[in-house]
Amino acid sequence: MTRDTKIANDTPPPAAMLSNKHLLGIQGMPIPEINALLERAHFFADRPKTLFADVLANITVLNMFFENSTRTRVSFELAAKRLGASVLNISVNSSSVKKGETLIDTATTLNAMRPDILVARHHASGAPLLLSQHVDAAVINAGDGRHEHPTQALLDALTIKRSLGKIAGLKIAICGDIDNSRVARSNLYLLSALGADVRFVSPATLVSPYFSEMGVPVYTDMEQGISGCDIIMMLRLQTERMEGRETPSQHEYFHFFGLDTRKLQKAAPNAFIMHPGPMNRGVEIDSKIADDNSKSLIRTQVELGVATRMACLEAIAGASTRVRI
């Protein structure tokens, strides 16, 4: 693997400084702050995991997951614990918080317990913003509806940067259920901001025509779409956010939009495959590809998720401390 000189750090990079108290999305985030987070995450990733156990010693992190999650919740929990924070996990039954008032009520109750950071995942787009308006703690968006998943985009960028040495100039295809994907949106904003050539590949029923209007190249033919691409990022068919009528069947979906060996031949010779997980094998990705460690960065993504979230928690803790002072 090659390394970008910019993040091949000999002297440790400082903790990222963010201008916002909350981390709600990639959209609107200044590029230097994105780079600072990536550099710090890269630094964390290469150091022993016990080295930073006092960084967030007096910080309380509350994981509030209004939507089921394993990897993201565990990733945030590990990140917080490696930085020495106190972590509490609250799994909230999503049916009890369907209304805005209830979400605010929950937030108000929790706020009274004075946490420092709320890590929130919610099935409704915009819920973390609403939460941030009603609590004193800093809010990190751990994925909201179809809107954003900023830490996923950051860890994806870090994975790409560490694997290919750069992001600028890379051809990156994000493939699958674009409309229902917060990962697609956050990655679009982040990777394009860092100079990648990002395109979407999706059945026409799963990609809003407004993405084209936003200037994103959209392909409905997968072989054309991934042609010459350095990174193929596959997305999960988000059946929980679909009414089941966007595509005819999983059988047809895999035939036209599933990543298999034949379609992969169209990509750049050393192309890498990514997937935010969890995967639907045989729906959007062939097992042979998913499990091929010479091509797949899927495990690396999970691994770097912790370091990335450490960088985010550290930066947000710093920002919230500054605000409080």
Partner 1 sequence: MSKTLLKNGRIISPSDKLDMVGHILFENSVISSVEKDLPPEDKIDQVIDCSGCLIMPGAIDMRVQSADPGAEHLESLSELLAAAGNAGISQIVSLPATTPVIDSAVMIDSLRLRASSTHGALLHLYGAMTQSLNNQQMAELGMMAKAGAIGFANGVVSVQDSLLMRRIMIYSKMLDKPVIHHCSDAYLDKDTDMNESETATRLGLLGSPAIAETIMLERDLNLASITGCRYHAAHISTASSVEALRRAKKAGLSVTADTSPAYFLLNDKATADYNTAFKLNPPLRSEEDRLAIIDAIKDGTIDSITSDHHPIEMDKKMLPFGQATAGASGIETLLPLAFSLYHTNDISLTRIVTALSTAPASILSLETPKLASGETANISIINLSSSSVIRGTNFLSQSQITPFEHYLVDSKVVGCFVHGISVML
- Kindly tell me which of 30 and 248 has the beta carbon lying closer to partner 1: 248
Owner of token pair 């990777």: 191
Question: Where do the H-state alpha helices sit in 222-296?
Answer: 222-225, 250-257, 261-264, 287-290
- Kindly tell me which of 77 and 286 has the beta carbon lying closer to partner 1: 286
8 Å CB contact between 201 and 226 = yes
Which span sits near partner 1 by CB under 8 A: 18-26, 68-76, 112-120, 248-256? 248-256
Which span sits near partner 1 by CB under 8 A: 81-89, 201-209, 284-292, 315-323? 201-209
- Kindly tell me which of 52 and 219 has the beta carbon lying closer to partner 1: 219
Phi, psi of 247 (to 5 degrees): -130, 155
Which span sits near partner 1 by CB under 8 A: 92-100, 122-130, 247-255, 312-320? 247-255
Owner of token pair 């089921």: 68
8 Å CB contact between 186 and 180 = no
Sequence-ordered list of residues with C-beta below 8 angstroms from that of 75, at least 6 positions apart, any chain: 302, 305, 306, 309
Q: Is 248 in the site for partner 1 (CB under 8 A)?
A: yes
Q: Is 143 in the site for partner 1 (CB under 8 A)?
A: no
Q: How far apart are CA 286 and CA 202, in angstroms?
A: 17
Minimum separation from the CB atom of position 258 to partner 1 (A):
12
8 Å CB contact between 225 and 256 = no
Q: Is 256 in the site for partner 1 (CB under 8 A)?
A: yes
Which span sits near partner 1 by CB under 8 A: 41-49, 143-151, 181-189, 241-249? 241-249
Q: Which two tokens stand for residue 271?
A: 């192309």
- Kindly tell me which of 127 and 222 has the beta carbon lying closer to partner 1: 222
8 Å CB contact between 137 and 323 = no
Owner of token pair 């509350």: 62
Q: Which of 203, 225, 277, 318 binds partner 1 (CB under 8 A)?
A: 203
Question: Where do the H-state alpha helices sit in 95-149?
Answer: 100-111, 127-132
- Look up residue 290 and give its amino acid: A
Q: Is 255 in the site for partner 1 (CB under 8 A)?
A: yes
Which span sits near partner 1 by CB under 8 A: 105-113, 203-211, 258-266, 272-280? 203-211
Q: Is 204 in the site for partner 1 (CB under 8 A)?
A: yes
Q: How far apart are CA 194 and CA 31, in angstroms?
A: 7
Q: Is 245 in the site for partner 1 (CB under 8 A)?
A: yes
Q: Which of 220, 239, 260, 268 binds partner 1 (CB under 8 A)?
A: 220
List residues near partner 1 by CB under 8 A.
203-205, 220, 243-249, 251-252, 255-256
